[in-house]
Structure 1
Amino acid sequence: MMRALVVGGLLILLMGCSPLKVLNAFTPSGGFSKASDVSYGSDPRNRLDVYTPTNVGPDAPVVVFFYGGSWNSGSRSDYGFVGEALASRGIVAVLADYRLYPQVHYQGFLDDSARAVGWTRQHIAQYGGDPRRLYVMGHSAGGYNAAMLALDPKWLATVSMKPSMLSGWIGLAGPYDFLPIENPEVKPVFFFPDSPPDSQPINHVSSASPPALLIAARDDTLVNPERNTGGMARRLREQGVSVRELYFSKPGHATLVAAFSRPMRSLAPVLDEVADFIHAQDQARVTAAKGD
């Protein structure tokens, strides 16, 4: 009962101003070390933070996280609760900013996302992470960014990488198949009505795509879960790619990512599923290495 009251109270606060700052206020500051404002490119938006678990040995798994905001808004500083949550499970978390509209249109934010992943692969060993255990994850628009890096080889090619260098990708309420665009905030980002078909992640699935974990809110009213999460999962399976597909009833589009925060975890076991997915991929990697 008490937990339900706390969650209910937080949901009310989350409907007010600066909702993510409310979650960060409840986020512990211990259990990790944080490298802040690290540059991965020349633009002021090309900055990232690294969260390294305090009690973890070298060669920990690594997740590069991209936040949502319709490619119009967002800041890594609002998602400290995601960094803390991943670090609490022994995962090195990289939270990256990227350029937004109107500074850039499609494809600028994907260029930045690829640079952030390229920086991570080159430097993450200095922060206790294993570049061979590298994942990309994103929520909403950030889920799109993660999907495009994992599925369309041209983006990681700009940083001398291939999607096969990723151990997997994780999409949280991501838009993967959204033409024609209906959201007025998104239309100019993708040059509507002349939005290019190759801007859609679902068009880049192949048998070589990395394993995926796709999570959505069942009643998401912003990003249609059946078309986007369901459609992507079906396309991946058709190509023989390993995918885990989950839908949760309690959270909505925004609160799906809020479920990473300690006071909101009762909404859905999102953190558990992410950690289990990474563990499963690591086990598969070890098994494959033994078979070689």
Structure 2
Amino acid sequence: MHFTQATDAPNLKEQDTPAGGRLVVTDVFDAGADMPDDPVTAYRLALTRAAGAVMAQGAMPPHLSRMVLWLPDIGVLQDRLIDYDLAFRETLAGNFPAITVVEDRDLTGPKIALSAVVPPAGDPDAKVYGDFTQAEINFQYSPRAQAPDHDKYFELWRLSGPAYQKNRVAEVWFGETPGQSFDLFLPDGVENPPLHLFIHGGYWQALDKRNHAHMADAMLKAGIAVAMVNYDLMPDVDLSEILRQCRAAVARAYDVAADYGYDRDRLTVSGHSAGGHLSGALACTDWADFRDDLPADLLKGAVPISGLFDLEPLSKTGMQPVFRFTADDIAGLSPINMKPVTAIPVVLSVGSLESPEFHRQSALFADHMRAHGCPVSEAVMEGHHHFSIVEALTDPAVPLTAAIIDLAKNS
């Protein structure tokens, strides 16, 4: 989250707009009547109100142009910049506008105003991908639009994940930037357990390893060590760098196994949504090409959950301004175009309530992996949508969690 500090706020109404476009400027919003004690929570609430006002006027997050943030103490922002950054991403993903911060010591909490430049409207009936119009392809790849109760999951992950994160035995770094680490959890009383790595989702531009820490509990109780993997987020880095970081995380997990007492020859991986893409790509990685001292079968199994394996339709959505996928990215970073070098077992899972496109994505990857000799199975998750399916990892009895435990213990 990059910002400029100023003494006075810029006039948001003084912006250029393209011919046929329009400028949207919100009122100034605070956190509401009940000001939370936590400044980041207050910021999130004010931002949510301002974002709602933008969208009520027909602008979408990719249209954001400027944001003014008034704070009583800019030092809090500087001290907790990562928390403010993640709160923005949770609300508006990686659609960062130009941000101006104004310190006002007379305030009791944050205030926010947003502006957006809405481009000229296109033909609403034009097909942009297959038989999908722009609105239709956006909906297919918008899990929040498909799950009206998604807010409760984000609230849960803000609370339960960080609370459970305190049980980690180590934070293991595999790079120098803030996102390049994983939290390691070890089961009690188990000698040389297998290690399962989990990669969070958020369309490569939101969320954090700490949001999902509590999902390690069921695996730990089954005698499996767990690594919750982080990575730097878009738009600060592109997808090729994110994938490189995740490969580095797996390599680092292999390297430090003896230091922490888990079995480096029994590594498996899963990931949700964007993490499903990354876990699918890891399943197809030529590890000797990545680093010549790594075994070809470094990973013994992969469980992509609600994954994204063909990037082309995503490049047609409203998220493309953050993704910035090129033709080379689509060809080189789509797991359906990657050839696995071993017959790695793969378990795929998609919630029954997810969109047809999410189901098609996993079916494509299943066919691709089978065509290359990999055993592929499915963990059926009836009654689950894009967010409830990953929260279900807390329950060892559901098919998805049971499949991960079985894969890890028998690797």
**TM superposition score normalised by structure 2:** 0.58
2:307 aligns with 174
Identity %: 22
Which of residues 100, 107, 110 is equivalent to 2:243?
110
1:55 Cα deviation (Å)? 2.1
SS at match of 1:137: strand
1:216 aligns with 350
Taking structure 1 as reference, are residues 156 and 62 closer, same or farther at Cα in structure 2, changes over 3 Å only? Answer: farther
- Given that residues 162 and 213 in structure 2 are in contact (C-alpha distance below 8 angstroms), is that contact kept between their aligned partners in structure 1? no
1:269 Cα deviation (Å)? 3.0
Determine whether 1:244 maps to 2:377: yes
5 Å matches for 1:90-129? 90-129=223-262
- Given that residues 171 and 215 in structure 1 are in contact (C-alpha distance below 8 angstroms), is that contact kept between their aligned partners in structure 2? yes
Amino acid at match of 2:408: I
5 Å matches for 1:281-292? 281-282=410-411
Distance 2:256 2:328 in 1: 38
Moved more, 141-150 or 13-22: 13-22
Moved more, 174-183 or 129-138: 174-183
2:284 aligns with 151
- Given that residues 62 and 91 in structure 1 are in contact (C-alpha distance below 8 angstroms), is that contact kept between their aligned partners in structure 2? yes
- Given that residues 177 and 227 in structure 1 are in contact (C-alpha distance below 8 angstroms), is that contact kept between their aligned partners in structure 2? no
Distance 1:190 1:156 in 2: 26
1:244 Cα deviation (Å)? 1.1
2:404 aligns with 274
Amino acid at match of 2:325: F
- Given that residues 287 and 298 in structure 2 are in contact (C-alpha distance below 8 angstroms), is that contact kept between their aligned partners in structure 1? no
Amino acid at match of 2:177: D
Taking structure 1 as reference, are residues 44 and 272 closer, same or farther at Cα in structure 2, changes over 3 Å only? Answer: same
- Given that residues 260 and 271 in structure 1 are in contact (C-alpha distance below 8 angstroms), is that contact kept between their aligned partners in structure 2? yes
1:7 aligns with none
Question: 1:213-252 CA distances to partner (integer Å, 9 max, x unpaired)?
Answer: 111112213x823321111112222222111123322110
Amino acid at match of 1:210: I
Taking structure 1 as reference, are residues 122 and 172 closer, same or farther at Cα in structure 2, changes over 3 Å only? Answer: same
Which of residues 5, 12, 20 is equivalent to 2:157?
20
Which of residues 51, 56, 60 is equivalent to 2:190?
56
Which structure has more relative contact order (CA 8 Å, sep 6+)? It is 1
Aligned-residue RMSD, C-alpha: 2.8
Structure 1 gap segments, 5+ residues each: 1-10, 283-292
Distance 1:206 1:47 in 2: 26
SS at match of 2:337: helix
Determine whether 1:73 maps to 2:206: yes
Count of residues in correspondence between the two structures: 263
Moved more, 48-57 or 182-191: 182-191
Which of residues 47, 51, 54 is equivalent to 2:181?
47
Which of residues 130, 138, 153 is equivalent to 2:263?
130
Distance 2:256 2:341 in 1: 29
Structure possessing the higher radius of gyration over alpha carbons: 2
Moved more, 231-240 or 11-20: 11-20
